Chains A and B, each alone.
Chain A
């Protein structure tokens, strides 16, 4: 099913949980709603499910307005963070729950439950004591239960947050495979960007009830719509140097202390963006190029010299914190580069890979 959220706002008393959110989710798409806690992502999910009604705006499924439709009639499935397994019932009864509520004949329920249990590798778990099932099994029971009623939309509220790292990765892959098989529309709420990036076709980044950006992971990564998204996405997050624009001899520079970046190539965007002199420059740690300065002794153009402030080895890569004036620039380099804190280092930032933000509006000057 196709989901359309049209300018929805949800207020709880004086608190605005969701503020003028519009999203259009295509049939069969996986969309992640990503954001820090309190950003309104779960409220948004609850409005799609029908547990909350929007104060303003409309929720449409395949063009039908469902604002006033009770959750039981929306034909959606939901997997909850704590799985919401009925511990008073067996796994079999949990999975067959929706069919039983719908008064499906017993024989048909049995067939359906066994069929779906098989596809989730749960045949052994069906009649075991539900309290003895492990997390992964419980999670699959929760998923199987929502799917027996053949929902048009599957909502997932941080379904992996209770699993350990290894199981989380495995389940993520399973979810993806499962989606490929069913082609069901999925809305996935998470605060974990790796989950969002690896699972979703498109990601909706939210902050304080407002949608920040709704685009593919690639776009969000390369062209964050504003300073918040730039700093929220990526691990380690983007560098954001809040500087001043200086024009000299027809060339444009962003400067902050000794940090100085030639951004002349973005002259048009800067001039047309109508930004003032206060511009922040954002760039990925992996785009920072380190020039050790050894050997020939000649540094490439635009090099800045800094002091190594901290070294964080990650295994195959290392994060270097480079201090330049009052700014710390993080660089992600190969672990073959060996440096110690206190050492001098030079680096360049490729101007064609940066994003420029108007510090007043916090918006990306390159954003469409």
Chain B
């Protein structure tokens, strides 16, 4: 057999590589599959002795609970669930599901808070990254200093923040959460966007300036459009961070402001314990915005632009 030339894989290597890819994909996708599967399971199949892969008796109760709120589910459809009936008999028909929240308000809250915080973080981060990338603002120390804000566990910062926010009357407010989310994600946006801006040759800005643009116009109309792929990727990353954030939201809010991760934690029944079905259903719904966001910016995620430079 002719030896495969350098850089070209043999059939076996190719097969092995694809197998590895399939395996890794299966492993990483499994929790996602399990969440979707659980979202259709009735109570008895949530934590059975033998794992249930796909719901034997698929039900929409979980989704109804998510959309209409567990409180209203109490005497209604849940009563027809076999598992609930069992518990009800044991407990003397006192199956109570706490909480009145349906998904709508927390979902809109999350969307609003995360969008605002992501937008602010990216805007401030881009400007900061620009000054660090082009003017070496603060020398080598400054960008490191920014990152140090993420070097200790968030809980260490959140406790004093709770005290301060209570003084400023920012607890349990949209603004409070937005401020903290913005602040916590800025180090990431600065560092990521800086690396993308570093890739845009400064000659392009100089060319724009010498042809008549102001410095700020050149940044806005020449540099940022060239780095938009990276900025879009950073936005997605930051949005996901905010969207899935639990701890800070949990400590800074109580009743007025509730985000989706907090709502998930509220799906708890004194009699049924963790309501895995509704939690899974809510989790499934909560991934949709991120997937949509990902699809929208997908075409910007492709890197490898030559940025106007001529490769030697």
Contacts and interface: CB of A to CB of B under 8 A. Distances in A.
Interface of A: 49-51, 70-72, 74, 76-78, 80-88, 97-98, 101-102, 131, 135, 138, 145-146, 149, 162
Contact of A82 (B210, B214, B225, B308): B308
Nearest to B307: A87
A162 B312 contact: yes
**Which of B203, B207, B209, B225 has the most chain A CB atoms closer than 10 A to its own CB?**
B207
Interface residues of B, number: 23
B226 interface: yes
A145 to B, nearest CB: 7
Contact of A78 (B207, B212, B213): B207
B285 interface: no
B210 A77 contact: yes
Nearest to A101: B212
A82 B206 CA distance: 12
A80 B206 CA distance: 9
Contacts of B291: none
Nearest to B222: A86
A117 B176 CA distance: 56
Given A78-B210, A138-B310, 4 more contacts: A77-B211, A87-B307, A101-B213, A102-B212
Nearest to A79: B207
A49 B217 CA distance: 18
29 contacts: A49-B206, A70-B209, A70-B214, A71-B210, A72-B209, A72-B211, A78-B206, A78-B207, A80-B206, A80-B207, A81-B203, A83-B308, A84-B203, A86-B208, A86-B222, A87-B226, A87-B305, A88-B225, A98-B211, A98-B212, A101-B208, A101-B213, A101-B217, A135-B310, A145-B207, A146-B210, A149-B211, A162-B310, A162-B312
Contacts of A83: 308, 310
A102 B212 CA distance: 7
B47 to A, nearest CB: 54
B309 interface: yes
A78 to B, nearest CB: 5
Interface of B: 201, 203-204, 206-214, 217, 222, 225-226, 305-310, 312
Given A131-B306, A162-B310, A162-B312, A86 B212 contact: no
Contacts of A131: 306
A72 B306 CA distance: 26
B130 to A, nearest CB: 16
A86 B225 CA distance: 10
Contacts of B209: 51, 70-72
Contact of A72 (B210, B305, B309): B210
A72 B310 contact: no
Nearest to A50: B210
Contacts of B203: 80-82, 84
Contact of B201 (A82, A101, A135): A82
Nearest to B226: A88
